[in-house]
Amino acid sequence: MSELPLQASSRAISDAALQAAPATKARGYWTTVGRRLSRDKVSLACALILLAILVSALIAPWLGLADPYQGSMIRRLRHIGTPGYLLGTDELGRDMLARLIYGGRLSLMVGISPVIFAFCIGTSLGLVAGYVGGWVNTAIMRAVDVFYAFPSVLLAIAISGALGAGITNSIVSLTVVFVPQIVRVAESVTTGMRSRDFVEAARASGAGPLTIMRVHILGNVLGPIFVYATSLISVSMILAAGLSFLGLGTKPPEPEWGLMLNTLRTAIYVNPWVAALPGAMIFAVSICFNLLSDGLRSAMDIRN
Amino acid sequence: MLLYLARRIVYVIPIVISVALVCFLLVHITPGDPLVAVLPADASQELAQQLRAAYGFDRPLPVQFGLWLWRALNGDLGHSIATGRPVLTEVIRAVGNTVTLALAAGVIGFTFGLLFGLVAGYFRDSWVDRLATSFAIAGVSVPHYWLGMVLVIIFSVELNWLPAVGAGPNGSGAWGWDWEHVRYLILPAVTTSVIPMGIITRTVRALTGDILSQDFVEALRAKGLRETDVFRHVVKNAAPTALAVMGLQLGYMLGGSILIETVFSWPGSGFLLNSAIFQRDLPLLQGTILVLALFFVILNLLVDIAQAAIDPRIKRG
């Protein structure tokens, strides 16, 4: 079958992942991966940074921060380092440090949840397409091809623009963007697994297709798909904040990094570096997820 | 080759139709009346009905799609609700500016991406490799709309060297390749180039590494070839994949420029899309997305064909 060589990169990833030959023993395998990952200094640092951002966002109300919604016209756009306002204030006089920390709540939620949803939906679809094959495969994969005909930023913005602004709509549109990508990876690893001896053996011993998919295939393909999904989080963070930046995501006055960047954009001639802060948060989270995903990939790339 | 060409082209037809269907349906997932932008708030029920009929919104969906597709095939994408001008005219003018931006960004991103990727792949695990891969990972991780803002802060606000917004001294007038215009292109083009730069660096680095570890490279060296000639072989082997990735990236830049064009008020297709969304100008939204997606499909087709022309292994597959 002639498949579009559109996504050379994703196929290369799944090929490499196939060779990664996951797991004779499930627990031993994941322990090994965890140990390798924690020995990798870069991955460890990234994990700690992400954890710090996530935890501080979660416990923000108990950190003794200023009220992120409380503005004041007399203390607008204070500079970074102003006593009492460590990171300055925004265009409405709200404390930047508090808003950046509180902003992690929505930003991380809207950035990460589409990948989680897409991971669940995409893995199921890809598994079925890869295992059942035939016309089911053709139907699913051709539908996926249609979504590949749109650049992902365009697709996300088109769906969000059509649905209208809002957090739920952002999550829906980003999920639609990522599902096809995960389906392709899942289908390709499953197809590679389908004719393996142990699957044949399970089939010969009378296991039904659902059991085989759940017990014998899922465990073996989940790793590569998971790694691919983690590599999407960084894109998702950037796009989610980008939608808010355009005015298609969160609505004011909620603290959210993309929206903060948007509203502070008018202030770049007054207090440029405060205006750039929310983007630095997006950058930090996105680069940490990327490096962590790279670390995970090489940690899982176990060759005897 | 001819057979391959024919097969690829035939394969594109259902994709194009499905893409048109998605663009068409986008408008119909929109909550609220599609005429909300033109109808005065106190419009009578009768007037609303008349307008609905005039725009064809009262017919069944499949009929609407058929008519829309037929008109689109004849180059008629309807009229913008906001300006009343034909959608196609508006889109073509805007796409021209986006192509200018994407080409400039492509030249920057592809040059540095190839350079960094080859050097990093060739000198694996050296300091050059680490530097290039750091650049690459920063390039793919940076929120490019923020990078645009930071560059504006540095080069426009602080240093006052380059203009912050627009596409020329007289707003969005005709583009020209002179310094007066190119000044406006530098910041948006550099900003757009970082993602393709990062992706190409990573791809080419991995490719170079894979190729260098193959037996034929060993054989070439054993044969006594100079290292520069070995390098030539590596480049040749990496070219088809690198080309495919570059083509895809060019497509992403054309279709995904909305954020950057918003930051720099660059009068391209993304800027048009932005105003179409916020003025709820549905024909314009539909038309812009359709044209951009078709661009992307055709670009992909061209890349596949070019790849097959370079790499004899693909045609047999």
Q: What is the pLDDT of residues A215-250, one digit of tens each?
A: 888 888 888 899 999 999 999 999 999 999 998 988
The residues, ordered by sequence, that sit 6+ positions from A198 with a Cβ below 8 Å of its Cβ are A216
B145 vs A146: CB contact, 8 Å cut-off? Answer: no
CA distance A264 to A92: 9
Alpha helices in A20-163 (DSSP H): 26-39, 41-58, 96-132, 134-148, 152-163
What Rg, from alpha-carbon coordinates, does chain A have?
A: 22
Task: Examine the pLDDT at A68 and tell me if it is beyond 50.
Answer: yes
CA distance A115 to A225: 12
Task: Examine the pLDDT at B107 and tell me if it is beyond 90.
Answer: yes
Model confidence at A182, pLDDT cuts 50, 70, 90, reads very high
- Residues β-bridged to residue A89: A95
Nearest C-alpha neighbor of B291 from the set A257, A132, A150: A150
Residue type present at position A249: G
Domain-located, residue A97: no
Domain-located, residue A207: yes
Which chain B residues have a beta carbon less than 8 Å from that of A2? 7-8, 11, 317
Task: Examine the pLDDT at A51 and tell me if it is beyond 90.
Answer: yes
Model confidence at A214, pLDDT cuts 50, 70, 90, reads confident
B252 vs A275: CB contact, 8 Å cut-off? Answer: no
The total number of structural domains in chain A stands at 1
Region A116-126: mean pLDDT is 96
Cβ of residue A204 closer than 8 Å to a chain B Cβ:
no
Domain-located, residue A30: no
- The CATH number of the domain holding residue A209 is 1.10.3720.10
The residues, ordered by sequence, that sit 6+ positions from B247 with a Cβ below 8 Å of its Cβ are B299, B300, B302, B303, B306
Choose among B23, B140, B157: nearest Cβ to A268: B157
Closest residue in B to A286 (Cα) is B141
Task: Examine the pLDDT at A63 and tell me if it is beyond 90.
Answer: no
Domain-located, residue A45: no
What ipTM was reported for this prediction? 0.86
Region B64-93: mean pLDDT is 84
Q: Is the full-model pTM beyond 0.90?
A: no
Domain-located, residue A19: no
Residue A239: which domain range?
104-300
Choose among B141, B206, B251: nearest Cβ to A286: B141
Task: Examine the pLDDT at B35 and tell me if it is beyond 80.
Answer: no
Choose among A163, A242, A287: nearest Cβ to B141: A287
pLDDT in the model for residue A126: 94
- Residues β-bridged to residue A85: A82
- Residues β-bridged to residue A296: none
Domain-located, residue A295: yes
Task: Examine the pLDDT at A88 and tell me if it is beyond 70.
Answer: yes
More confident site: A33 or B97: B97
Q: What is the pLDDT of residues B248-274, one digit of tens each?
A: 899 888 888 889 999 998 888 888 998
In DSSP notation, B44-105 reads -HHHHHHHHHHHTTTS-HHHHHHHHHHHHHTT---B-TTT-SBHHHHHHHHHHHHHHHHHHH
Which chain A residues have a beta carbon less than 8 Å from that of B27? 162
pLDDT in the model for residue A12: 46
Task: Examine the pLDDT at A1 and tell me if it is beyond 50.
Answer: no
Q: What is the pLDDT of residues A92-120, one digit of tens each?
A: 878 889 899 999 999 999 999 999 999 99
pLDDT in the model for residue B142: 93
User: How many beta-carbon pairs below 8 A join chains A and B?
Assistant: 157
pLDDT above 90 coverage of chain B, percent: 22
CA distance A254 to A243: 14
A279 vs B203: CB contact, 8 Å cut-off? Answer: no
Report the gap between the CA of B75 and the closest CA in chain A (Å). Answer: 20
More confident site: A168 or B307: A168
Report the gap between the CA of B179 and the closest CA in chain A (Å). Answer: 25
- A133 C-beta neighbours (distance < 10 Å), count: 14
Top CATH class of B92-316 equals mainly alpha
Cβ of residue B60 closer than 8 Å to a chain A Cβ:
no
Domain-located, residue A261: yes
Question: To the nearest whole number, what is the mean pLDDT of chain A?
Answer: 84
Identify whether A253 is preceded by a cis peptide bond (ω within 30 of 0). yes
Which chain B residues have a beta carbon less than 8 Å from that of A294? 137
Return the axis-axis angle of helices B282-310 and B2-28, rounded to nearest 10°.
Answer: 160
User: Comparing B42-46, B119-123, B132-136, B216-220, which segment has the lowest mean pLDDT?
Assistant: B42-46
Model confidence at A265, pLDDT cuts 50, 70, 90, reads confident
Which chain A residues have a beta carbon less than 8 Å from that of B194? none
CA distance A150 to A146: 8
**CA B249 → CA A7, A12, B71, B195, B308, distances in Å?**
11, 17, 31, 9, 18
Domain-located, residue A280: yes
Closest residue in B to A237 (Cα) is B143
Residue A256 in contact with residue A244, Cβ under 8 Å? yes
Q: What is the pLDDT of residues B183-232, one digit of tens each?
A: 888 999 999 999 999 999 999 998 988 888 888 888 888 888 888 888 88
Residue B39 in contact with residue B47, Cβ under 8 Å? yes
Which chain A residues have a beta carbon less than 8 Å from that of B239? none
Q: What is the pLDDT of residues B149-192, one digit of tens each?
A: 999 999 988 888 888 777 777 655 677 777 777 888 899 999 99
Model confidence at A8, pLDDT cuts 50, 70, 90, reads very low
CA distance A156 to B258: 11
Report the gap between the CA of B233 and the closest CA in chain A (Å). Answer: 21
pLDDT in the model for residue A85: 78
Polymer length in residues for chain A: 304
pLDDT above 70 coverage of chain B, percent: 93
